[in-house]
């Protein structure tokens, strides 16, 4: 089983310095650029490979790129931004790459820059990822010293500069346009679209914002071609995926596997099944903003096409498992508190609605909820859903709630009928009737 | 007044951007690295350096989680309260902190040594519960381990 993205990562997670990276074939893709491949041909190659964004939405990379103005009349400069603001609860895949193979991101960004004739790149890194920052800083310095950055690539006029920007925290910074505002030194509030960043992005210039894992696929596609890339996958979308599992499983961790690996294989074979004495109830397939999948979905291939939209979406592919000794209402409450805290406050439904949802869920856990509260949760799941808010933060927050109301409704009702959380030993609280 | 070192670092950061304002977040982080928090005076110094108003810089400083507008301890202890850590025992870890140091998250120990703050997902979910002190990341934290970890920071 090939693991092109992670095969050389040291078992202890220490990164490879430039010499070791080059010895293992690193920066080989730059020879293809130096040999004179046209940017449009590089874009075609990525389209043929069927690369889809690994940040959560799964948008085809080549389609995203197709809106960038190209040629000598295109506005200059153009920017490539690596979205390394990994802050989705339950998600830890990009950290693995950033810490273990920092030169991989530098190489990937040079390729993206070449394909889009963009001269400048930024890595927008989570402020808490100190180890990644150290390693990327060193990799960028080494790449400058070697002439991969800051000088024309041999035989070409293409020259790429790369900067690392450490963020100061906030989940919303991971949203494409909020990230651009943060890079411009402003509050990270999403921008209205259109115009889209591909034409009007960073400082008004054409900009592509791309997830870290997505970018790491580029050198592999350039080196091995689209047919090989498709062969890595069990799905119609190309490549491998860094999957992860956390929660009460025997071996929580991450694995690079063919895209389309089933949730059952991940859970039972790679994570070693559930932890002693607990049973599986459900999982979020890719972070806090995805909908629950349950036993009936375990044989679905975990890719961007196989999960029916009415069931949910893959998201980041790093799963959070719900077991039978964990309260599903408490689980969703934790998620909603996170989203309420991280709302940027720009639009009213999100700013006011998410704390309201969190308070209602708290009342379930405290044994104070009534049937009306269930109806209120249903209402919020609709009015904070897609199309009602400025960006996708609130709809993302509603995905686990909506699916929890569907699959674990009995548990919500038990909270009401018992007047307490069935998983908690806390004494029943007094219900004050006014 | 910004120190010469702060000015040098800030000027270096500004080289990456086409306009000065873009350096606002970097400036706050640069100053905070040495002074631990952003006082009103520091804020105005940064604003003056970048040609912005104090209100502008404050609107940025108060937006981001890692900028502190109140004094903090000599060390920052971030306790991940996100879902994987919650499943794996975050609440017991928090309870131990409250018991050992007689404080809530968001407060500083009486001796000014540590400020404990909740934080969203540290990306260490496979080793939940996780905590980070300054730049050091800890996984599989249990209530029993809390004091041993914290003792390293004077």
> In this predicted model, what pLDDT tens digit does every residue of A81-99 receive, in sequence order?
999 999 999 999 999 999 9
Q: Test B63 with A128 for CB contact under 8 angstroms.
A: no
> What part of A 200-229 touches B (C-beta under 8 Å)?
203
All residues at 6 or more sequence positions from B18 whose CB lies less than 8 Å from its CB, including other chains: A203
Mean pLDDT of B116-142: 96
The residue with tokens 């400082």 is: A203
pLDDT greater than 50 at residue A390 = yes
Indicate if the alpha-carbon torsion angle A176, A177, A183, A188 is positive or negative: negative
CB A241 within 8 A of CB A54: yes
CA-to-CA distance for A30 and A8, rounded, in angstroms? 19
Mean pLDDT of A266-273: 97
Question: Smallest Cβ distance to A169: which of B65, B124, B135?
Answer: B65
ω before A296 within 30° of 0 (cis)? no
Test the A interface: residue of B53, B68, B84, B139 with most A CBs within 10 Å: B84
Least confident of A11-25, A161-175, A415-429, B82-96: A415-429
Nearest chain B alpha carbon to A98:
B123
pLDDT greater than 80 at residue A430 = no
CB A360 within 8 A of CB A373: yes
Test the B interface: residue of A140, A168, A187, A338 with most B CBs within 10 Å: A168
> In this predicted model, what pLDDT tens digit does every residue of A87-143 receive, in sequence order?
999 999 999 999 999 999 999 999 999 999 999 999 999 999 999 999 999 999 999
Q: Is B67 on the interface with A (CB under 8 A)?
A: yes
Question: Which residues in chain B are closer than 8 Å to A321, comparing Cβ atoms?
Answer: 87
CA-to-CA distance for B6 and A150, rounded, in angstroms? 26
Q: Is B6 on the interface with A (CB under 8 A)?
A: no
CB A10 within 8 A of CB A100: yes
Nearest chain A alpha carbon to B63:
A187
Q: Is B132 on the interface with A (CB under 8 A)?
A: yes
Question: Smallest Cβ distance to B123: which of A95, A203, A253?
Answer: A95
| Shortest distance, CA A119 to any CA of chain B (angstroms) | 13
How many CB atoms are closer than 10 A to CB A62? 18
Q: Test A128 with B25 for CB contact under 8 angstroms.
A: no
Note the pTM of the prediction, 2 decimals: 0.96
Quick one: pLDDT band at residue B18, thresholds 50, 70, 90? very high
> Of A285, A294, A282, which Cα lies nearest the Cα of A91?
A285
Q: B21-45 in b/e burial notation, b at 16+ Cβ within 10 A?
A: bbbbbbbbbbbbeeebbbeeebbeb
E-assigned strand segments in A196-345 = 207-211, 240-246, 253-258, 280-284, 318-323
> What part of B 15-34 touches A (C-beta under 8 Å)?
16-19, 21-26, 28-29
ω before A28 within 30° of 0 (cis)? no
Question: Smallest Cβ distance to B121: which of A87, A187, A254?
Answer: A87
Question: Which residues in chain A are closer than 8 Å to B21, comparing Cβ atoms?
Answer: 184-186
Q: Test A342 with B66 for CB contact under 8 angstroms.
A: no
What is the reported pLDDT for A434?
46
Per-residue tokens: A44: 């075609």
pLDDT greater than 50 at residue A79 = yes
Mean pLDDT of A36-51: 96
Q: A249: which DSSP letter?
A: B
Ramachandran bin of A367, using left for φ above 0, alpha for ψ from -120 to 50, beta for the remaining angles: left
Question: Which residues in chain B are closer than 8 Å to A90, comparing Cβ atoms?
Answer: 82-84, 121, 125
- Which DSSP string corresponds to B50-64? HT--HHHHHHHHTTS
Mean pLDDT of A26-38: 93
Q: Is B81 on the interface with A (CB under 8 A)?
A: yes
Nearest chain A alpha carbon to B123:
A92
Q: A330: which DSSP letter?
A: H
Which residue intervals of A232-390 are DSSP H helices? 263-264, 328-342, 348-365, 371-383
All residues at 6 or more sequence positions from A371 whose CB lies less than 8 Å from its CB, including other chains: A416
Quick one: pLDDT band at residue A427, thresholds 50, 70, 90? low
Q: Residue A7's beta-bridge partner residues?
A: none
Backbone angles phi, psi at B132, to 5 degrees: -135, 130
H-run or E-run covering B80:
strand B75-80
CB A95 within 8 A of CB A85: no
| Shortest distance, CA B19 to any CA of chain A (angstroms) | 8
CA-to-CA distance for A235 and A214, rounded, in angstroms? 16
Q: Is B62 on the interface with A (CB under 8 A)?
A: no
Q: Test B83 with A187 for CB contact under 8 angstroms.
A: no
Per-residue tokens: B69: 């507008």
> In whole angstroms, how far apart are CA A104 and each of A56, A118, A212, A394?
20, 18, 10, 33
A238 compared with A434, residue with greater pLDDT: A238
What is the reported pLDDT for A155?
87
Q: Test B125 with A252 for CB contact under 8 angstroms.
A: yes
Q: Is A281 on the interface with B (CB under 8 A)?
A: no
Nearest chain B alpha carbon to A131:
B135
SS3 call for A23: helix
Backbone angles phi, psi at A256, to 5 degrees: -90, 120
Mean pLDDT over each residue of chain A, to the nearest integer: 95
Q: Is B122 on the interface with A (CB under 8 A)?
A: yes
> In this predicted model, what pLDDT tens digit does every residue of B63-103 receive, in sequence order?
999 999 999 999 999 999 999 999 999 999 999 999 999 99
Question: Smallest Cβ distance to B64: which of A130, A168, A245?
Answer: A168
Q: A28-56 in b/e burial notation, b at 16+ Cβ within 10 A?
A: ebbebbeeebebeebbebbbbbbbbbbbb
Question: Which residues in chain B are closer than 8 Å to A401, comparing Cβ atoms?
Answer: none
Mean pLDDT of B7-16: 94
Question: Which residues in chain B are closer than 8 Å to A245, comparing Cβ atoms?
Answer: 126
All residues at 6 or more sequence positions from A380 whose CB lies less than 8 Å from its CB, including other chains: A353, A356, A357, A360, A398, A401
């Amino acid at each position: 089983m090939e693991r092109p993205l992670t095969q050389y990562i040291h078992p202890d997670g220490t990164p490879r310095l430039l010499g070791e990276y080059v010895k293992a074939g690193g920066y080989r893709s730059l020879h293809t650029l130096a040999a004179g491949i046209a940017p449009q041909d590089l874009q075609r190659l990525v389209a043929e490979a069927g690369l889809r964004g690994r940040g959560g939405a799964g948008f085809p990379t080549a389609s995203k790129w197709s809106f960038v103005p190209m040629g000598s009349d295109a506005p200059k400069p153009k920017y490539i931004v690596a979205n390394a603001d990994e802050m989705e609860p339950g998600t830890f895949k990009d950290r693995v790459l950033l810490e273990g193979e920092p030169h991989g991101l530098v190489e990937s960004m040079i390729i993206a820059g070449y394909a889009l004739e963009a001269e400048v790149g930024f890595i927008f890194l989570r402020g808490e990822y100190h180890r990644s920052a150290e390693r990327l800083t060193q990799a960028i310095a080494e790449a400058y010293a070697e002439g991969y950055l800051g000088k024309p690539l041999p035989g070409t006029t293409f020259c790429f500069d790369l900067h690392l920007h450490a963020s100061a925290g906030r989940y919303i910074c991971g949203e494409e346009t909020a990230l651009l505002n943060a890079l411009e030194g402003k509050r990270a509030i999403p921008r209205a679209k259109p115009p889209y960043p591909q034409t009007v992005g960073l400082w008004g210039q054409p900009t592509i914002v791309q997830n870290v894992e997505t970018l790491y696929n580029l050198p592999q596609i350039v080196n091995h071609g689209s047919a090989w890339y498709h062969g890595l996958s069990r799905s119609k979308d190309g490549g491998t995926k860094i999957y992860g599992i956390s929660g009460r499983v025997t071996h929580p961790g991450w694995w690079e596997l063919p895209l389309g690996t089933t949730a059952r294989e991940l859970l039972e074979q790679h994570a070693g099944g559930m932890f002693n004495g607990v049973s599986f109830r459900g999982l979020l397939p890719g972070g806090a903003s995805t909908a629950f999948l349950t036993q009936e979905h375990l044989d679905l291939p975990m890719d961007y096409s196989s999960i029916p939209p009415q069931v949910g979406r893959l998201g980041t592919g790093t799963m959070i498992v719900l077991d039978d000794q964990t309260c599903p209402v408490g689980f969703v409450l934790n998620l909603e508190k996170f989203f309420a805290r991280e709302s940027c406050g720009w639009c009213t439904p999100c700013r006011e609605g998410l704390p309201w949802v969190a308070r209602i869920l708290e009342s379930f856990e405290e044994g104070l909820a009534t049937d009306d509260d269930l109806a209120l949760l249903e209402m919020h799941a609709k009015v904070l859903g897609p199309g009602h808010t400025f960006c996708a933060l609130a709809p993302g927050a509603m995905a686990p709630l909506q699916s929890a109301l569907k699959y674990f409704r009995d548990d919500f009702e038990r909270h009401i009928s018992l007047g307490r959380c069935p998983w908690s030993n806390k004494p029943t609280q007094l219900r004050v009737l006014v | 007044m910004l120190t010469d070192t702060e000015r040098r670092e800030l000027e270096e950061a500004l080289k990456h951007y086409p306009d000065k304002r873009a350096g606002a977040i970097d400036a706050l982080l640069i100053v905070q690295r040495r002074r631990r928090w952003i006082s009103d005076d520091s804020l105005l110094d940064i604003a003056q350096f970048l040609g912005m108003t104090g209100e502008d810089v404050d609107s940025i400083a108060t937006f981001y989680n890692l900028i502190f507008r109140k004094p903090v301890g000599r060390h920052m202890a971030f306790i991940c309260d996100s879902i994987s850590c919650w499943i794996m025992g975050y609440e017991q870890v928090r309870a131990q902190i409250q018991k050992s140091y007689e404080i809530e998250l968001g407060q500083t120990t009486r001796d000014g040594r540590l400020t404990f703050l909740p934080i969203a997902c540290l990306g260490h979910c496979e080793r939940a519960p996780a905590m980070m002190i300054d730049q050091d990341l800890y996984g599989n934290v249990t209530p029993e381990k809390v004091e041993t970890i914290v003792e390293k920071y004077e």
